[in-house]
């Protein structure tokens, strides 16, 4: 079998090429994200929403806020995965919908959001 290229994703979750095996293929090798950057919490190791990007889905959704824990994307657990793996889950074809599972920072309650991938300007 052909060698699988390494996963490549930016920490923003809104830039960088998806894995070559992404399905369906992304036009021009670029995808769209969910409108936020993410970071790993140094104490818990959990991935968190870091910054809401102007023009992205997260800016229009009152249920996504800085500090929320990213629990799952499309049913895939985000606990213990790498930055590249999370970026690959977040990125997808523009206009596609991701099922985003968050744990709210202010209430510690889980929420599920159907989030549309929208291209945003690079920071």
pLDDT tens sequence across 62-94:
999 999 999 999 999 999 999 999 999 999 999
- What is the pTM for the complete model shown? 0.73
Mean pLDDT value across residues 107-120: 94
Nearest of 25, 28, 47 to residue 38 by alpha carbon = 47
- 117 near 95, Cβ under 8 Å? yes
Beta strands, E only, 1-123? 36-40, 47-52, 69-73, 76-77, 97-103, 110-116
Averaged confidence pLDDT in the chain: 80
The residue that leads in pLDDT, 23 or 40, is: 40
Alpha-carbon gap, residue 83 to 11, rounded angstroms: 7
Nearest of 72, 69, 86, 80 to residue 8 by alpha carbon = 86
């Amino acid at each position: 079998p052909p060698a699988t290229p390494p996963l490549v994703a930016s920490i923003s979750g809104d830039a960088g090429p998806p894995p070559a095996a992404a399905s369906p293929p992304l036009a021009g090798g670029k995808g769209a994200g969910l409108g936020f950057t993410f970071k790993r919490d140094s104490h818990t190791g959990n991935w968190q929403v870091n910054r809401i990007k102007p023009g992205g889905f997260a800016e229009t959704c009152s249920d996504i806020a800085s500090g929320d824990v990213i629990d799952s994307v499309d049913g895939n657990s985000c606990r213990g995965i790498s930055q590249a793996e999370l970026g690959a889950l977040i990125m997808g074809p523009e206009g596609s919908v991701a099922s985003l599972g968050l744990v709210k920072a202010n209430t510690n309650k889980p929420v599920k959001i159907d989030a549309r991938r929208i291209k945003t300007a690079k920071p």
